[in-house]
Chain A
């Protein structure tokens, strides 16, 4: 019946006179995380690698406070399973909060600092990208060690230079590299790191970085 009416409503002249008054469209508020999946609680579990155990212990309160207070997500450490567990509360405003907190904790586990990882909570569009050295170039033995050395630089200055120029945070864990930042900045950092892996000297990478950062700064 409604379809007929709809088809008839195409004809402008006829529609207005014959149309029934439809009920107004329903407006639903977005579901709270608690109500999702028919009222069951949402969980996230993040495993803790052994080398981050002690730093987690040290920085637990720094992690816990923003998660619980601001994100309104429950947080606990499962010592037996060596996992951090997150849970929505009834007053968690948004389902994405849970995911954000999980990402935050995961970033910490990868090796980022709390203050850097906190940005994940605050900004929507930050991502963590991970790749390995062997993805870029197959290196073995001494070459690999040298590549890692090249990436960090003396006292880490190359890494810091890249971080500062591209507004990202980089973690070099043996052969794994993690980059935290916005999409474009991750690209800049990744390109620089790839050049370094492939063998270009640091000076060259610096000059490229300078050019890039100048361009970035000009945009505003």
Chain B
């Protein structure tokens, strides 16, 4: 037993000395050391845990999980007994003084207990090396950056735990540093503890932990100083361990006592689920409260200046609809691009000039009659005569009002054009056709046309049907048949006779009248 104890202590010491980063990489030597230490702690706690089925921690060839489970089997009932004991002590403070007779067994058991728990933590750490290693470091030091060390796997609860632990550790270390005298110290500690209890009822977990730790302290303080260091560490570890285990117990409790309500929860550290639920509920409460309250002025619809606090619009980022395109920022690139475009255009000669749409000569340009300011040379009679003649006989219409010089010039030019066209022999392009209303007379075309074609034609201007106004089949004398000739002669005779009758009638009444007059 002593050898094993020594080996165990040695192992613990070694573990204590290692630096945490080395824990990150799986190390078989370190593993062996840890296992030995765990075994030692387990066996030291064995006397206190009567119900546990295991006599010894079996580590050879076992998985970390399995080792942990063994430890768990031992520690669960142990914790419950400790809790019960603590409650008793809480209810009957006088008993604390009675406790002062320290049993070496108890003392040894405690450190062993502590060591065991510490070892359990170590085994835990092999599953979650980061966490435990950091925890150890924190505990060794005064716990500065626990959040970083803590793994996300364990969640926020552990952070809380560690915070609590740090506070507790500080307290404990302070407390331990003050005095060694038992009763005096105990009373002081007790008083402090009681005050704390009165102030923070919400943190009964931590208080319980404190109590547990202090109970441990009470028992241990009478011991040698040699063990002080260890005890510190062990106590700290114990706290953690206990907290963890309490946590587990708390979980169990919530499992069984869900219906009992918040009170039960508050008694212990709330489990992860409970904490989540709490958070949710607080969020819900918050949101409901916000909904019930009147909205901020930014959330209301149309808000006049009177309805909002002064100068509040200055503080808020207001969103405006800008219907105007933002003015382009003229940077060097923009100018360069523009200049490039200009140069390119100039080189290619593509300009966006506005070109006048060509106006087609759609209708005949009206002859603009210019007003003659001078006294007309023709008399009024001649004027009307001309008008009359124009009405009757369109061809002999005189040229419209133009200067004679102009007329002469136009005639000369036309003659010239004709000659030039004649040079090209039928290949002249006629003037663009402009619809012009004019009277066509049945005059030989040659006489009318100003530009005589090279080939002289006898064609008349009017078409035959326009000339001839008769109906039916017109035949010449030679073409007629006998019957037709006869018919023609008969018609002629008839007409002649009719005229004769008319003439005779005309003469007859005149004669009759004259005869009457005379008579």
The finding on whether chains A and B are genuine partners in a shared complex, rather than unrelated, reads yes
Task: Say whether A180 contacts B380, CB under 8 Å.
Answer: yes
User: Within the complex, which residue of B368, B371, B385, B510 is in contact with A122, where a contact is CB–CB below 8 Å?
Assistant: B385
Set of chain A residues within 8 Å of B369, measured between Cβ atoms: 165, 210, 213-214, 217
Set of chain B residues within 8 Å of A27, measured between Cβ atoms: 509-510, 513
Set of chain B residues within 8 Å of A74, measured between Cβ atoms: none
Task: Say whether A26 contacts B513, CB under 8 Å.
Answer: yes
Q: Does B305 contact A (CB under 8 A)?
A: no
Q: Does B390 contact A (CB under 8 A)?
A: yes
Binding site for A on B (CB under 8 A): 366-369, 371-376, 379-385, 387, 390-391, 394, 508-510, 512-513, 516
What's the count of A-B pairs with C-beta under 8 Å? 78
Chain A residue with the shortest CB-CB distance to B370: A210
Q: A24-B509, A26-B513, A220-B391 are in contact. Are A119 and B372 (CB under 8 A)?
A: no
Task: Say whether B381 contacts A164, CB under 8 Å.
Answer: no
Chain B residue with the shortest CB-CB distance to A159: B375
Task: Say whether A220 contacts B509, CB under 8 Å.
Answer: no
Chain A residue with the shortest CB-CB distance to B517: A26
Encode A128-164 as 1/0 by CB contact (under 8 A) with B: 0000000000000000000000000000111011011
Encode A93-137 as 1/0 by CB contact (under 8 A) with B: 000000000000000000001011111001100100000000000
Chain A residue with the shortest CB-CB distance to B505: A24
Set of chain A residues within 8 Å of B367, measured between Cβ atoms: 214, 217
Task: Say whether B384 contacts A167, CB under 8 Å.
Answer: yes
Q: A24-B512, A26-B513 are in contact. Are A181 and B380 (CB under 8 A)?
A: yes
Set of chain A residues within 8 Å of B508, measured between Cβ atoms: 24
Task: Say whether A116 contacts B380, CB under 8 Å.
Answer: yes
User: Within the complex, which residue of B371, B376, B379, B382 is in contact with A209, where a contact is CB–CB below 8 Å?
Assistant: B371
**Complex Cα spacing A133 to B209, Å:** 131
Q: Does A72 contact B (CB under 8 A)?
A: no
Set of chain B residues within 8 Å of A119, measured between Cβ atoms: 379-381, 383-384
Binding site for B on A (CB under 8 A): 23-24, 26-27, 113, 115-119, 122-123, 126, 156-158, 160-161, 163-165, 167-169, 180-182, 206, 209-210, 213-214, 217, 220
Chain A residue with the shortest CB-CB distance to B373: A157
Set of chain B residues within 8 Å of A214, measured between Cβ atoms: 366-369
Give 25 pairs: A residue, B residue, CB < 8 Å, sorted on A: A23-B516, A115-B379, A115-B380, A115-B381, A116-B380, A116-B381, A117-B380, A118-B379, A119-B381, A122-B384, A123-B384, A156-B375, A158-B373, A161-B373, A163-B375, A164-B371, A167-B380, A167-B384, A168-B380, A180-B380, A209-B371, A210-B369, A213-B371, A217-B367, A220-B390
Least Cβ–Cβ distance between B60 and chain A, in angstroms: 129
Known: A163-B375, A209-B371, A210-B371. 19 other contacts (CB 8 A): A115-B381, A116-B380, A118-B380, A118-B381, A119-B380, A119-B381, A123-B384, A126-B384, A161-B372, A165-B371, A167-B384, A210-B368, A210-B369, A213-B369, A213-B371, A214-B366, A214-B368, A214-B369, A220-B394
Set of chain A residues within 8 Å of B384, measured between Cβ atoms: 119, 122-123, 126, 167, 182
User: Within the complex, which residue of B372, B381, B512 is in contact with A123, where a contact is CB–CB below 8 Å?
Assistant: B381
Least Cβ–Cβ distance between A118 and chain B, in angstroms: 5
User: Within the complex, which residue of B368, B375, B387 is in contact with A160, where a contact is CB–CB below 8 Å?
Assistant: B375
Task: Say whether A164 contacts B391, CB under 8 Å.
Answer: no
Task: Say whether B380 contacts A157, CB under 8 Å.
Answer: no
Least Cβ–Cβ distance between A120 and chain B, in angstroms: 8
Q: A123-B384, A163-B376, A169-B380 are in contact. Are A23 and B371 (CB under 8 A)?
A: no
**Complex Cα spacing A86 to B233, Å:** 165
- Which 5 pairs of residues, A with B, have the shortest CB-CB distance? A115-B379, A119-B381, A157-B373, A24-B509, A116-B380
Chain B residue with the shortest CB-CB distance to A209: B371
Set of chain A residues within 8 Å of B509, measured between Cβ atoms: 24, 27
Task: Say whether B381 contacts A122, CB under 8 Å.
Answer: yes
**Complex Cα spacing A206 to B368, Å:** 13
User: Within the complex, which residue of A23, A24, A117, A157 is in contact with B374, where a contact is CB–CB below 8 Å?
Assistant: A157
Least Cβ–Cβ distance between A169 and chain B, in angstroms: 5
Least Cβ–Cβ distance between B363 and chain A, in angstroms: 13
Chain B residue with the shortest CB-CB distance to A119: B381
Set of chain A residues within 8 Å of B394, measured between Cβ atoms: 220
* B376, B381, B382, B513 interface centre (most CB from chain A within 10 Å): B381
Least Cβ–Cβ distance between A67 and chain B, in angstroms: 14
Set of chain B residues within 8 Å of A126, measured between Cβ atoms: 380, 384
**Complex Cα spacing A79 to B151, Å:** 151
Least Cβ–Cβ distance between A216 and chain B, in angstroms: 9
Q: A23-B512, A210-B369 are in contact. Are A167 and B383 (CB under 8 A)?
A: yes
Set of chain B residues within 8 Å of A210, measured between Cβ atoms: 368-369, 371
**Complex Cα spacing A178 to B510, Å:** 49
Chain B residue with the shortest CB-CB distance to A155: B373
Task: Say whether B380 contacts A161, CB under 8 Å.
Answer: no
Set of chain B residues within 8 Å of A217, measured between Cβ atoms: 367, 369
Least Cβ–Cβ distance between A132 and chain B, in angstroms: 23
Least Cβ–Cβ distance between B511 and chain A, in angstroms: 11
User: Within the complex, which residue of A23, A24, A113, A165 is in contact with B379, where a contact is CB–CB below 8 Å?
Assistant: A113
Set of chain B residues within 8 Å of A182, measured between Cβ atoms: 384
Set of chain A residues within 8 Å of B383, measured between Cβ atoms: 119, 167
* B366, B379, B516 interface centre (most CB from chain A within 10 Å): B379
Chain B residue with the shortest CB-CB distance to A164: B372
Least Cβ–Cβ distance between B365 and chain A, in angstroms: 12
Least Cβ–Cβ distance between A76 and chain B, in angstroms: 24
Chain B residue with the shortest CB-CB distance to A118: B381
**Complex Cα spacing A218 to B282, Å:** 100
Least Cβ–Cβ distance between A170 and chain B, in angstroms: 11
